[in-house]
Amino acid sequence: MAHFRPLFTLNVEHVFFADGRCNNLLFAPTPATQRVLQQYPLLVKTYDTGFSILFDQESLLPFGEDALLRFEAFAQDPYFGFYTAETQGRTPPLYCTTKNITADNTGLVISNEQPAELQNRISTPARVKPGTKTPLLIVDIELNGAEFTAAVQDGVMIERSIRFNTRAIYWKYYFFGELAKLELDIHDLSSQAAVTFYPCDEVVVKNGKAFISQIPIALSNAPKQRFQLKDKNNSGKILIKRLPNAGVNLISKSRDLKGQQILVAEIYVNQ
């Protein structure tokens, strides 16, 4: 009777999510990895934030040079590549290996440099079947290292994480209706590092007004910003106690005060 126990667990974290848990990546073993799993034998147990590799402590074979497990991770959220800092300016897939870990020995280092065999595959479109989805990330688990041999002998599971950072983007408010007729001021209620907004000189349809944040703001699925709208010409009267926060579904190009092109998250307020 097989007695499986965990050998390795990978958890994915993302700063974009308020709880830090990233549960919208789907990990799939490659066909070669499926054969390695059967050879040793090993099992894969998936979670919403990652997966575990389990081994049969009664019949595990010594790990040889071919003991490489490769997983491809596919984003289940169409906006994942947009709000993830590590994907900006890079061509997927990203790459991680258990041989390249962070200084505190807890995480895998995200890199844009893949092994030669992966680079050849990615750069040769003819090898990719029509309709094939490109993975966002490839993870190599190299079992033939001393760390995994010790983990089997000592019965101690190896636990690693992959941590993604969130992207920062400028916020752009559009005001219409009666609000657009007033001298508006957006006030940040945060006690530290307050964000200021400047009015845009662009022509806005329907006589509207637009304001852009002077600095980019980190994206989040649950923004904590508390921006208040006031009337400058009426003793700072509060018009809106808390303005709506930006999301990732309304993104466009704009220009800052220097005329440089920037991306902005748009928020529309009509009152």
DSSP 96-151: EETTSB-TTSSBBPPBS---HHHHHHHT-GGGSPTTPPPPSEEEEEETTSHHHHHH
121 — pLDDT class (breaks 50, 70, 90): low
Model pTM score: 0.88
- pLDDT band at residue 213, thresholds of 50, 70 and 90? very high
Q: 66 pLDDT exceeds 90? A: no
Comparing 9-13, 103-107, 122-126, 240-244, the range with the smallest average pLDDT is 122-126
Residue 132: per-residue pLDDT: 58
Site of tokens 């998250």: 265
Domain assignments of the chain as residue spans, ordered by start: 4-164, 168-270
What pLDDT is recorded for position 125? Answer: 41
**pLDDT tens digits, residue range 148-196?**
988 888 888 999 999 999 999 999 999 999 999 999 999 999 867 789 9
What secondary structure does DSSP assign to 59-101, as a single string? TPPPP-TT-EEEEEEEESSTTHHHHBGGGTT-PSPEEEETTSB
Residue with tokens 């009666």, as numbered in its chain: 178
Q: What is the pLDDT of residue 123?
A: 43
